[in-house]
């Protein structure tokens, strides 16, 4: 770890919107899919760096419910990359004592990808280090609607009493049930929007946007974000 983080508070949960793979490739005159390939290498490195820094939860937006709108060629290439990196991730997770969890609606993927996701979660379940959460076919509104359906069913079946529903009850129906809310959100490539990511969970998260394109993201960039986070004053609506 760089000297620069000495004495710094390491955020417990870092959420990441990895953006800019396409622009990275375009600048080099390469097809967009090459940017995604390079982006996967960056994800691997970031998992190792974050685990080493002592971050407890790292949640990465890998594929949104809206990304299906892209060309069949690009979506197909992304699916192939999932297949390949799920296997690699199993090794990296084991080597770094990392537990892997996927959020999002996995039912839309091909059977072998669903099996791969389940296997990755099961085989890393007992690891005690960082939890690496990958958001795939994830959209916050979709997550909320899926959660509300289950909640409504439980009310109908008298498992849950309508009047007893609290914020905690609702949160327990989301894909992120049991996880703390993110402390820091990092978005690469400069876009100032949430793109349907963790809308409920990011209520009081500190936001850091960097112009760095995702494939160029590295430990130094992560340290910059943590330094900025340390300069923020988190009030949660109160007065300091
Ligand atoms: C992020 O990079 C990866 C995914 C959304 C899958 P983009 O593919 O969105 O890259 P840009 O935004 O077009 O540069
Ligand atoms: C957000 O990036 C989704 C992921 C990083 C997986 P997008 O590139 O899809 O977001 P927009 O379209 O710029 O909002
Ligand atoms: Mg993008």
Whose CA is closest to atom 14 on ligand 2? 195
pLDDT classification of 3: cutoffs 50, 70, 90: low
With a 6 Å cutoff on the Cβ, whether 19 touches ligand 1 is yes
pLDDT tens figures, 180-223:
999 999 999 999 999 999 999 999 999 999 999 999 999 999 99
Q: For position 4, what pLDDT does the model report?
A: 76
Rg of the Cα trace of the chain? 18
Rounded Cα distance, 75 and 78, in Å: 5
Asked if residue 29 has pLDDT above 60, the reply is yes
- Most ligand 2 atoms within 8 A of CB, residue of 15, 35, 59, 64 to mutate: 64
CA 214 to centroid of ligand 3, rounded, Å: 10
Closest approach atom of ligand 2 to CA 193: 14
Mean pLDDT of all residues in 165-169: 98
- Domains present along the chain, CATH in parentheses: 10-139+181-229 (3.40.1180.10)
pLDDT at 2 over 60: no
Which residue owns the Cα nearest ligand 2 atom 8? 19
- Position 137 pLDDT exceeds 80: yes
| Residue 63 beta carbon below 6 angstroms from any ligand 1 atom | yes
Closest residue by Cα to atom 1, ligand 1, is: 19
The finding on whether 64 has its CB within 6 A of some atom of ligand 2 is yes
Cα torsion at 228, 229, 235, 240 (round to 10°)? -60
Instruction: Provide the pLDDT for residue 240.
Output: 83
pLDDT exceeds 60 at position 1: no
Instruction: Average the pLDDT over 80-100 and give the result.
Output: 97
113 has pLDDT over 90 = yes
CA–CA distance, 89 with 40 (Å, rounded to integer): 10
Q: Per-residue confidence at 133, pLDDT binned at 50, 70, 90?
A: very high
d(CA 111, ligand 1 centre) in Å: 25
Ligand 1 pocket check for 22: Cβ under 6 Å:
yes
What's the CA-to-centroid distance between 168 and ligand 1, angstroms? 33
Residue nearest (by alpha carbon) to ligand 2 atom 2: 19
Annotated active-site positions, please? 19, 67
Could you please report the per-residue DSSP string of the chain?
A: --GGGTTPPPPSEEEEE---HHHHHHHTT--HHHHHHHHHHHHHHHHHHHHHHT-SEEEEEEEETTGGGS-HHHHHHHHHHHHHHHHHHHHHHHHTT-EEEEES-GGGS-HHHHHHHHHHHHHHTT--S-EEEEEEEE-HHHHHHHHHHHHHHHHHTTSS-GGG--HHHHHTTSTTTTSPPPSEEEESTT--S-TT--TTTTTT-EEEE--S-GGG--HHHHHHHHHHHHH----TTS--
């Amino acid at each position: 770890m760089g000297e620069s983080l000495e004495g710094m508070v390491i955020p417990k949960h870092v959420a990441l919107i990895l953006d800019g793979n396409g622009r990275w490739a375009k600048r080099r005159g390469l097809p967009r899919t090459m940017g995604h390939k390079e982006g996967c290498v960056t994800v691997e490195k970031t998992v190792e760096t974050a685990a080493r820094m002592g971050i407890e939860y790292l949640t990465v937006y890998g594929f949104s419910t809206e990304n299906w709108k892209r060309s069949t060629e690009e979506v197909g290439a992304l699916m192939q990359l999932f297949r390949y990196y799920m296997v690699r991730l199993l090794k990296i997770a084991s080597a770094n004592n990392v537990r892997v969890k996927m959020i999002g609606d996995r039912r839309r993927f091909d059977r072998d990808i669903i099996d791969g996701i389940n296997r990755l979660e099961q085989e890393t379940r007992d690891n005690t280090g960082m939890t690496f959460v990958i958001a795939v076919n994830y959209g916050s509104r979709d997550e909320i609607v899926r959660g509300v359906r289950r909640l409504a069913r439980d009310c109908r079946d008298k498992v849950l009493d309508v009047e007893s529903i609290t914020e905690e009850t609702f949160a327990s129906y989301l894909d992120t049930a049991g996880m703390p809310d993110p402390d820091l959100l990092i978005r690469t490539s400069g876009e100032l929007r949430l793109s349907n990511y963790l809308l409920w969970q990011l209520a009081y998260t500190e936001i850091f946007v960097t112009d760095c394109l995702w494939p160029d993201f590295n430990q130094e960039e992560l340290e910059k974000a943590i330094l900025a986070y340390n300069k923020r004053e988190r009030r949660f609506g109160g007065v300091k």
